[in-house]
Each structure stands twice: as structure tokens, then as C-alpha cells.
């Protein structure tokens, strides 16, 4: 389990302080919400596979929960939104790099 309100002491934490997942990845959930490029819109009332989001909007999608959310929000499927102009220490983005084996 990543950092959430039940274990975070209400603050962010350095990466790789918890055990990696089965794929060797650290901190995929919790600590800070991850900004997504998608504009936010409520899902339709009908079941849709791979729905397309709006092309514009005022809020972006965030996923994965943070240090100040409940454990149930710390998963990729949990979706919320945030204002791109807002500044809070529990929103972030993921840097990635391809490693040569």
C-alpha cells in the first residue's frame, strides 16, 4: 500500500520508501495524485469501453490517490479532477525513463 491518510503522517514522502510492486515499480499509488492529460468530464450513464473524454475543459483528470486520501482511493481506477491553475502539494506527475537492461 502506498502513502495515504492512514500511514503518511499527513505529508508527502520520498520515493522508493516502500516495497516495489511485482513489476519492480515504486510508488504507483498514493503519496501524490498523478496528473493525467485528459480533461475531466463525468462518465456517461451507460457502459462504454475506452470512453473518449472532452477535447477541452477547466479541470484535468487525476488518479491514484495521495497522502491525504483514504486507502480505497489509492488505485489507478480511482479517478478525480483538479484545476490546472491550482497549487497543492498533493498533486504531481510521473517522470519516466527507459532503462537499458
Please give the pLDDT value at position 51: 79
Please give the pLDDT value at position 70: 97
C-alpha angle 23-62-68 in degrees, rounded to nearest 5: 85
The answer to whether residues 67 and 89 touch, using CB atoms and an 8 Å cutoff, is: no
Please give the pLDDT value at position 44: 84
Confidence of residue 98 (pLDDT cuts 50, 70, 90): confident
Q: What is the mean pLDDT of residues 27-52?
A: 90
Tell me the pTM: 0.84
Alpha-carbon distance of 3 to 65, in angstroms, equals 9
Sorted by where each begins, the domain ranges of the chain are 1-95
Confidence of residue 53 (pLDDT cuts 50, 70, 90): confident
Q: What is the mean pLDDT of residues 83-98?
A: 89
Q: What is the mean pLDDT of residues 44-72?
A: 92
Sheet with 60-63: list strands edge to edge. Answer: 79-82, 60-63, 33-39, 91-92
What is residue 71's three-state secondary structure?
helix
Amino acid at each position: 500500500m502506498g502513502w495515504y491518510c492512514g500511514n503518511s503522517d499527513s505529508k508527502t514522502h520520498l520515493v522508493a520508501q516502500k516495497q516495489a510492486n511485482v513489476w519492480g515499480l515504486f510508488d504507483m499509488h498514493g503519496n501524490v495524485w498523478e496528473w493525467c492529460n485528459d480533461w475531466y468530464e463525468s462518465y456517461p450513464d451507460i457502459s462504454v469501453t475506452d470512453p473518449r473524454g472532452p477535447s477541452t475543459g477547466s479541470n484535468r483528470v487525476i488518479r491514484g490517490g495521495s497522502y491525504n486520501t483514504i486507502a480505497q482511493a489509492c488505485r489507478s481506477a480511482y479517478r478525480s479532477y483538479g484545476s490546472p491553475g491550482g497549487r497543492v502539494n498533493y498533486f504531481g506527475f510521473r517522470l519516466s525513463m527507459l532503462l537499458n537492461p
